[in-house]
Amino acid sequence: MGRFHPIVTMLSWKTRLLRPEEIEMILAAIANMHAQPFTLTQVAELLPPEITRDKKKRRSISNLLQALVQIGYLSKPSERKWLKNSQSLSHFLSPLLIELGEVERRVFGQTREERVIRLNPVEQGKMRKNG
């Protein structure tokens, strides 16, 4: 088994029947969808037949699309149609990853500041005399 992008691996948790390489193909198909909104059938037309022939895998593709709706990359204007909210998943995630980095720095920055030990002037004087 090859090494896959961590986000592809995380998406595979939502779709147990799809292998990571199949998820990569589906993400590529969605990124290349020019019709807006698009249907599952239109995505399936861009995928290899071995993925789309299996009804269970086709249902898993639908589950993957739902997971992409949950994270905000896709929206669902009707029951059978999806709409991309960004050009590709990578374009969608880029600002979110920057924002996440800022959240992590802010959270850890506060923790570090709380760990600073400050001596009051009286204790500093005692240390100088004893030192």
50 contacts: CB under 8 Å, gap ≥ 6? none
15 band by pLDDT with thresholds 50, 70 and 90: confident
Residue 23 has a pLDDT of: 94
Confidence of residue 108 (pLDDT cuts 50, 70, 90): low
**C-beta atoms surrounding 39 within 10 Å:** 14
H/E run at residue 83: strand 81-84
- pTM, to two decimals: 0.72
Q: Which two tokens stand for residue 129?
A: 């005399």
Domain 6-84 has CATH 1.10.10.10: yes
98: pLDDT confidence band, cut at 50, 70 and 90?
confident
> Is the pLDDT confidence value at 71 over 50?
yes
Residue 118 has pLDDT above 50, yes or no: yes
pLDDT at res. 1: 46
